[in-house]
Amino acid sequence: MAVCIAVIAKENYPLYIRSVPTQNELKFHYTVHTSLDVVEEKISAVGKAMADQRELYLGLLYPTEDYKVYGYVTNSKVKFVIVVDSSNTSLRDNEIRSMFRKLHNSFTDVMCNPFYNPGDPIQSKAFDGIVSGMMVQPS
Amino acid sequence: MSVPDYMQCAEDHQTVLVVVQPVGIVPEDQFFKIYKRIASVSQVSIRDSQRLLYIRYRHHYLPENNEWGDFQTHRKVVGLIAVTTCGSSKEWPQTSERFHGQKEVYGSTLYDSRLLVFGLQGEIAEQQRTDVAFYLNFDECPDVEKRVEDFVESIFIVLESKRLDRATDKSGDKIPLLCVPFEKKDFVGLDTDSRHYKKRCQGRMRKHVGDLCLQAGMLQDALVHYHMAVELLRGVNDFLWLGAALEGLCSASVIFHYPGGTAGKTAGRKPNISQPADAGKRHRPGAQEVLIDPGALTSNGISADTSTEIGRAKNCLSPEDIIEKYKEAISYYGKYKNAGVIELEACVKAVRVLAIQKRAMEASEFLQNAVYINLGQLSEEEKIQRYSILSELYDLIGFHRKSAFFKRVAAMQCVAPTIPEPGWRACYKLLLETLPGYSLSLDPKDFNKGTHRGWAAVQMRLLHELVYASRRMGNPGLSVRHLSFLLQTMLDFLSDQEKKEVTQSLENYTSKCPGGMEVITLPDGLKLPPVPFTKLPIVRSVKLLNLPVSLRPHKVKGLLGQNMSTASPFIYSPIIMHNRGEERCKKIDFQWVQGDVCEVQLMVYNPMPYELRVENMGLLTSGVEFESLPAALSLPAESGLYPVTLVGVPRTAGNITVNGYHTSVFGVTSDCLLESLPGVKTGGCLVEVIPSLPRLQLSTSLPRSAHTPQPMSKEELSSTVSVQLFNGETQQLTITLENIGTEDIETLELTSKTVTTKEKVFGEFLSWELEEALSHLPLKPGQSVTLTVNIKVKLDFSGQENLLQDLNDDGISVTGLPISSPLRQVLKPRAETKPVSSESGKAEYNHIKTLEAVLNFKYSGGAGKVEGYYRDLSLGVHVDVEPSVFFTRVSTLPATRRGGEREAMRLRRYR
């Protein structure tokens, strides 16, 4: 399960970022922020070759001592970043993928809301709920 | 070896290391001047051969690192240039001694050395010595470069002989085992005759020869030797040296592929060196020139003959292979704890190569690996250096965020609690360098476009750190600027508690150093633009107010300068619609007057969760000399829109533009320009100021009243007097006109206008003699003149049809019906029967008539008069007219009764 989930706008500023409340929130801000370097690199590397049938899932962006950072980019260049605990070895790549898919679906719902202004921070409760479901439950 | 050289790059493998050091007392600046001149000789083309020798200079080199010279020859100090001063020949032996002492330090590896002596004169200085050069002083040493070149050539000769020596070792001689410092004890008691041992010796020697070839400018030979070394060492699982051989292979290939160097701009090589296409050609002649004894090589058990391999490109690794081999080498180094520095340096070198290849992802993997290399206990300074270089390398591969992250870590390391003397200055400098990585500029203008979009949490943290660092640096001005910036740009992201904290500390700082609007320029040239607090308070609209009616200037009609309709021959043109951008500065169609107080109304609100005190709030204007009269205000917490009137006095005439306002909040003064404020409504901010006009104040002998003549609004009249008169009565109204302005009143006109009534007025209602007053003109400031106005009322009160009937409350018809009624009832209560009288107060009787008029004083003077302006002062006159005679009762007596009562009338005067 994730310890931090972030949605980042096309212009690389956060639309939504949530981490396990017990942890140091700022640390995850830094982690996600620096992971954008890798995301950008990955996008630009693939970008020219086959922009159309590009895989949305970027895979493991980089491992740190304590965490693994995974990335996902929608076709509209909105980025999702999920940070999981390195000690959590039971998590398979497929599960991460499905988490991203779920996140993407929920994000699409948010975008469909006529009262949501694209580019504004996401405040949807439904989205919050989905994210909460994917987060590590603080015990 | 414990101190890594983070600046190393692959092409350093082909350089020879020369240490330049001061001996004895040498002024530092002079030494570095000489050092610079020496270091300018970074490559020397060797006479008689077409090879180039590259030299790396260091003024500081750990002898400990020198011990790894056998492992990688570019780490070996082969030359020493000592710089010294010597005043007299007496000192010479001592100086000479010191020089020899210095030589001892690197003695085991030195090929040659030189001593540059400054200041010595006399016979010693006249000796011709190759190893010592004498100069009079530091400014007169024109042939230093030449000397150094000669020196380098002599190094080359030694290098070349060593290379040949090693390359052609006869089989009969035992090949010595080269080893790194920490291996030495491992080989004690090893069987030196085993095949395994021999192969190891051969492999290591091959690698060593490869290094020497590379240094001597024989790239192709080096490649061949490295290839052979790799094969030999792989066979005996000598991983450390295998790694070194692989790295050598990589270095040689990098030098071949990227002749421009991988170090980037900082250590760029001279551009005149060869292009890749002719790199092989250039090296080949050199290789052929040196005699290689093929037999010697083969008989030595090393199978391949280098001469046949020379020039074959296949020896050179492809760009992809370079990275693969680097990876392999690093993985071998990783097996040895003591080779951490070598591993780290290899990572750095590989990253530089990858940066050139623009393969950022792989480079980041190398860097990630480098982060985890444990070098044991690092000093704080080394940690800072390490983080800085990581940041630099991340920046090199385009990972600006990661770079900023490490730079910030380095900055924090500068002031770690374990450091006795924290380097706040360095910390601050490093923090500033992280700003682009966090996409944060310190110009508040970049934050004007709507809501801020960015990594507020990390940006705020960074700003806080900047504030703190600048405070500890002892520069409160900087802290105030950064804190203001934080408050202004991150206001939306601060919690109420944080807002409180930030403003409190801001007030603390400003008590020592008030914030202003000047641009702060840092020593390194970075400019910190001022931060106006446009959000404290937030201004929603700006409206310029007209003068009060009595002070408004009027233009004399018929004069030229009716500025309408001159702009365009068309009555209407749609093109004007396109000029919307200028709307903000369109001219407003009223005028202000020089010397008179003018007002601008702002609608402001306070976004803070507590009371906001704004001091010294005034207007910023241009075009006209303007004396702003600042106001202080206190806005309640989270107030709604709150009107604030800013006033000022234009001191000259012309067009005035209201550009903005200035405030002082929390001790920070800010100039907020309207054009940089988003979402501010203005009705234009350009107004014409006309030259000054006099001001007239009038006072009257009659009491003032609240009445206003109907068609006029209250504002239009400066005052109103009211008086009650009986019909036919005349009352004198004395008006005192006082000039309270600063200009002479030169003209005065008086007109009156009776407010239309249905009443018929007989005679003149208001009459006056102006001549007397006019004779006092021009009226100087402070002087006054009186004017008498006669109010005469003459109205017709007759002719109300039922008057008599009303009065005749006997019910007896006045028409003369003979009704005899001796028992007259006195006074039926009239109130019930007449609706008019139901009104209370004075209006109980409806016989009062009202007359109203307006007296209009037109006056002018001073410069405004020249321009054709005048002012208007109006006095309302309200007169209640009562009839002078009142019939309260009419009784009729029959005319038949003689001697009877006569018609009786009762007169009553009201007062």
Per-residue model confidence as pLDDT tens digits over B615-651: 888 888 888 888 888 888 888 887 788 888 888 888 8
In chain A, domain spans: 2-134
* Res B246: pLDDT: 92
Q: Does B498 touch chain A (CB under 8 A)?
A: no
Please answer whether residues B603 and B540 qualify as being in contact, where contact means their C-beta atoms are separated by less than 8 angstroms.
yes
Dihedral over Cα of B427, B429, B435, B437: its sign: negative
User: Could A26 and B458 be called an inter-chain contact, meaning their C-beta atoms sit closer than 8 Å?
Assistant: yes
* Res B829: pLDDT: 42
* Res A45: pLDDT: 74
Q: Which of residues 42-71 of A touch B (CB under 8 A)?
A: 42, 45, 62-63
Q: Does A41 touch chain B (CB under 8 A)?
A: yes
User: Could B458 and A29 be called an inter-chain contact, meaning their C-beta atoms sit closer than 8 Å?
Assistant: yes
Looking at chain B, the domain(s) classified CATH 2.60.40.10 span: 538-556+585-690, 696-797+845-894
**In 3D, which of B540, B537, B534 has the Cα closest to residue B517?**
B534
Please answer whether residues B770 and B750 qualify as being in contact, where contact means their C-beta atoms are separated by less than 8 angstroms.
yes
What are the structure tokens assigned to B507, written together?
Answer: 């007030």
Looking at chain B, the domain(s) classified CATH 3.40.50 span: 10-168
**In 3D, which of B145, B115, B113 has the Cα closest to residue B132?**
B115
B572 pLDDT band, cuts 50/70/90, is low
What is each CA distance from B93 to B100, B107, B134, in whole angstroms?
A: 11, 20, 14
Q: Does A123 touch chain B (CB under 8 A)?
A: no
Quick check: B827 pLDDT over 50? no
Per-residue model confidence as pLDDT tens digits over B728-748: 788 888 888 888 888 888 888
Chain length of chain B: 911
Angle at B308 between CA B306 and CA B309, to 5 degrees: 65
Span B363-388, mean pLDDT?
84
User: Could A119 and B453 be called an inter-chain contact, meaning their C-beta atoms sit closer than 8 Å?
Assistant: yes
Higher pLDDT pick, B171 / B788: B788
* Res B407: pLDDT: 92
Question: How many Cα atoms within 13 Å fall on the side-chain side of residue B398?
Answer: 19
Quick check: B200 pLDDT over 80? yes
Q: Which residues are CB-contacts of B399 (< 8 A; sequence separation ≥ 6)? A: A34, A37, A38, A41, B360, B364
Backbone φ and ψ of B484, nearest 5°? -60, -40
User: Could B401 and A29 be called an inter-chain contact, meaning their C-beta atoms sit closer than 8 Å?
Assistant: no
B903 pLDDT band, cuts 50/70/90, is very low
Per-residue model confidence as pLDDT tens digits over B516-548: 888 888 888 888 888 888 888 888 888 888 888
Span B759-773, mean pLDDT?
77
Per-residue model confidence as pLDDT tens digits over A22-80: 668 888 898 899 899 888 888 887 655 555 566 788 888 888 888 889 999 988 889 99
ipTM: 0.91
Quick check: B269 pLDDT over 70? no
B536, B538, B541, B546 alpha-carbon torsion, rounded to 10°:
-20
For the structural domain made of B195-377, what CATH number should be given? 1.25.40
Quick check: A11 pLDDT over 70? yes
| Residue B360 burial (10 A CB sphere; 0-12, 13-18, 19+) | buried
Span B244-264, mean pLDDT?
85
Nearest by CB to A33, from B360, B394, B455: name it: B455
* Res B328: pLDDT: 92
Span B332-355, mean pLDDT?
89
**In 3D, which of B723, B735, B732 has the Cα closest to residue B766?**
B732
Dihedral over Cα of B698, B703, B704, B708: its sign: negative
B243 pLDDT band, cuts 50/70/90, is very high
Please state which of the ranges A31-40, B294-303, B306-315, B443-452 shows the lowest mean pLDDT.
B294-303
B570 pLDDT band, cuts 50/70/90, is low
Please state which of the ranges B66-80, B302-316, B358-372, B813-827 shows the lowest mean pLDDT.
B813-827
Does this model's pTM top 0.80?
Answer: no
Task: Indicate the class that CATH gives domain B538-556+585-690.
Answer: mainly beta
Please state which of the ranges B223-232, B365-374, B717-726, B856-865 shows the lowest mean pLDDT.
B717-726
B561 pLDDT band, cuts 50/70/90, is very low
Q: Which CATH number fits domain B696-797+845-894: 3.90.1150.10, 2.60.40.10, 3.40.980.10, 2.40.50.100?
A: 2.60.40.10
A102 pLDDT band, cuts 50/70/90, is very high
Q: Does A10 touch chain B (CB under 8 A)?
A: no
Question: How many Cα atoms within 13 Å fall on the side-chain side of residue B298?
Answer: 7
Nearest by CB to B455, from A13, A25, A42: name it: A13
Share of chain A above pLDDT 90, in %: 32
* Res A106: pLDDT: 93
Separation of alpha carbons B771 and A14, rounded Å: 81
* Res B28: pLDDT: 87
Hey, of A15, A33, A41, which one would you mutate to test binding to chain B, going by the most B CBs within 10 A of its CB?
A: A33
Hey, of B400, B402, B407, B439, which one would you mutate to test binding to chain A, going by the most A CBs within 10 A of its CB?
A: B402
Per-residue model confidence as pLDDT tens digits over B134-157: 888 888 778 888 888 888 888 888
Quick check: B275 pLDDT over 70? no
What are the structure tokens assigned to B619, written together?
Answer: 């207007």
* Res A126: pLDDT: 92
For the structural domain made of B10-168, what CATH number should be given? 3.40.50
Quick check: B322 pLDDT over 80? yes
Per-residue model confidence as pLDDT tens digits over B104-129: 888 888 888 888 888 877 777 777 77
Span B866-895, mean pLDDT?
77
Share of chain B above pLDDT 90, in %: 5
* Res B676: pLDDT: 77
Higher pLDDT pick, B49 / B241: B241
Which residues from chain A sit within 8 angstroms of residue B461, using beta carbons?
26
Q: Does B368 touch chain A (CB under 8 A)?
A: yes
| DSSP string for B717-780 | -SEEEEEEEETT-EEEEEEEEEE-SSS-B-EEEEEEEEPP-SSPBPS-SEEE--HHHHTTPSBP
Please state which of the ranges B176-185, B374-383, B518-527, B570-579 shows the lowest mean pLDDT.
B570-579
* Res B441: pLDDT: 83
Angle at B316 between CA B312 and CA B322, to 5 degrees: 170
Give the residues across from B872 on adjacent strands: B858
* Res B775: pLDDT: 81
Please answer whether residues B115 and B133 qualify as being in contact, where contact means their C-beta atoms are separated by less than 8 angstroms.
yes
Quick check: B591 pLDDT over 50? yes
Higher pLDDT pick, B676 / B96: B96
Q: Does B446 touch chain A (CB under 8 A)?
A: no
* Res A8: pLDDT: 92
Span B260-275, mean pLDDT?
50
Hey, of A37, A60, A68, which one would you mutate to test binding to chain B, going by the most B CBs within 10 A of its CB?
A: A37
B839 pLDDT band, cuts 50/70/90, is very low
* Res A138: pLDDT: 63
Question: 3-state DSSP call for residue B226?
Answer: helix
**In 3D, which of B341, B665, B359 has the Cα closest to residue B503?**
B665
- Give the minimum alpha-carbon distance from A46 to chain B in angstroms, rounded to a whole number: 12
Q: Does A78 touch chain B (CB under 8 A)?
A: no
Per-residue model confidence as pLDDT tens digits over B65-109: 888 888 888 888 999 998 888 878 788 888 888 888 888 888 888
* Res A100: pLDDT: 92
Q: What is the overall mean pLDDT for chain B?
A: 78
User: Could A38 and B364 be called an inter-chain contact, meaning their C-beta atoms sit closer than 8 Å?
Assistant: yes
* Res B173: pLDDT: 60
Quick check: A105 pLDDT over 90? yes
User: Could B368 and A62 be called an inter-chain contact, meaning their C-beta atoms sit closer than 8 Å?
Assistant: yes
* Res B818: pLDDT: 42
Q: Which fold has domain A2-134?
A: Beta-Lactamase (3.30.450)
Looking at chain B, the domain(s) classified CATH 1.25.40 span: 195-377
Nearest by CB to B405, from A34, A41, A119: name it: A34
Separation of alpha carbons B432 and B120, rounded Å: 48
Quick check: B171 pLDDT over 70? no
